[in-house]
Amino acid sequence: MIEEPLIRVANVKKVYKTGDVEVHALRGVSLDVYPGEFVAIMGSSGSGKSTLMNLLGCLDRPSSGSYRLAGREVAKMNRNELAEVRSEVLGFVFQSFNLLARTSALENVELPLVYRGVGGRERHRRAAHALERVGLGARLDHTPAQLSGGQQQRVAIARALVGEPKVILADEPTGNLDSQTSVDVMALFQELGQAGITIVLVTHEPDIAECASRVIVVKDGNVVTDRKQVPRPARTESPSSSGVSVEKREYP
């Protein structure tokens, strides 16, 4: 049996109307994403990346066309239905982290579960587990101001993970991070990808896109390139850190 795509976008158009002016932000985009894919979306400013991400994220609806997400047609759902699909299927990561200030890492990560009505103890347990998964098990009580940018982004990734999403959507998640921290965050995304989570990420940076298994380029509201690739490991094991060097090994 052929696996169903998790995301199936078919001839999606988005027209923004402001007064008499119409902006054709997407001009008929079609896209299938299968479970476990790691997709990087690239394109110059104004090409339609955010519009596409808002549609994929069920934050907005297309003007026309079809969008099936995890087997359900969402293009014509109302706001409440969209919110339900979002909380069931999707996790979001933003460039600016979007964490609540003066609120602990643990409480930030618990938030999506509060909206779902999960009880206090269970929330606590799941949020702590998500923070352990991103390497912040020792920082549960820290507020965003007490964390570095990379750590804040990892809290945001834990918040995206806590609802056990099928898809994580990330809009320029490394845009506010220095290059070493970007490497750490991309290594984490690759790890999540290997664990079976589908990732769709917008980036301007070619090195970041190299870490994905597929690159889609958007231009003037159209997909102009869509290719699969062998992902470059974000973190390359340095010879000195592996402990045992080849030369020291004894061969019988």
* Cα dihedral 19→25→27→28 (10° resolution): -120
CA dist 211 and 225 (Å) reads 17
Sheet holding 7-18, edge to edge: 21-33, 7-18, 64-69, 72-73
Under the binding rule (CB under 5 A), the answer on residue 50 touching Mg ion is: yes
Tokens 């999506």 -> residue: 112
Under the binding rule (CB under 5 A), the answer on residue 108 touching Mg ion is: no
For residue 47, the Cα-to-chain-centroid distance in whole angstroms is: 19
Q: Which of 11, 23, 178, 229 binds ligand ADP (CB under 6 A)?
A: 23
SS3 call for 159: helix
CA dist 157 and 173 (Å) reads 9
SS3 call for 158: helix
- Dihedral sign computed on CA atoms, order 49, 131, 126, 116: negative
Contact partner, 224, from Mg ion, ligand ADP, none, Cβ < 5-8 Å per class: none
Task: Identify which of residues 25 and 167 has a Cβ nearer to ligand ADP in the complex.
Answer: 25
- Encoded tokens for 70: 């995890």
Give the nearest distance from C-beta 4 to Mg ion in angstroms. Answer: 29
Task: Identify which of residues 23 and 114 has a Cβ nearer to ligand ADP in the complex.
Answer: 23
CA dist 18 and 12 (Å) reads 20
Contact partner, 47, from Mg ion, ligand ADP, none, Cβ < 5-8 Å per class: ligand ADP
Q: Which stretch binds ligand ADP (CB under 6 A): 17-25, 32-40, 126-134, 148-156?
A: 17-25
The binding track of 148-177 with respect to ligand ADP, each residue x by CB under 6 A or -, is: ------------------------------
Under the binding rule (CB under 5 A), the answer on residue 203 touching Mg ion is: no
Under the binding rule (CB under 5 A), the answer on residue 198 touching Mg ion is: no
Site for ligand ADP in 118-137 (CB under 6 A): none
Give the nearest distance from C-beta 232 to ligand ADP in angstroms. Answer: 24
Contact partner, 48, from Mg ion, ligand ADP, none, Cβ < 5-8 Å per class: ligand ADP
- Residue 157 · residue 209 · CB < 8 Å: no
Under the binding rule (CB under 6 A), the answer on residue 25 touching ligand ADP is: yes
Task: Identify which of residues 50 and 174 has a Cβ nearer to Mg ion in the complex.
Answer: 50
Task: Identify which of residues 16 and 115 has a Cβ nearer to ligand ADP in the complex.
Answer: 16
Site for ligand ADP in 33-52 (CB under 6 A): 43, 45-51
- Which residues neighbour 120 within 8 Å (Cβ) at sequence distance 6 or greater? none
| Amino acid occupying residue 203 | T
Q: Which spans of this chain sit near ligand ADP (rule: CB under 6 A)? A: 16, 18, 23, 25, 43, 45-51
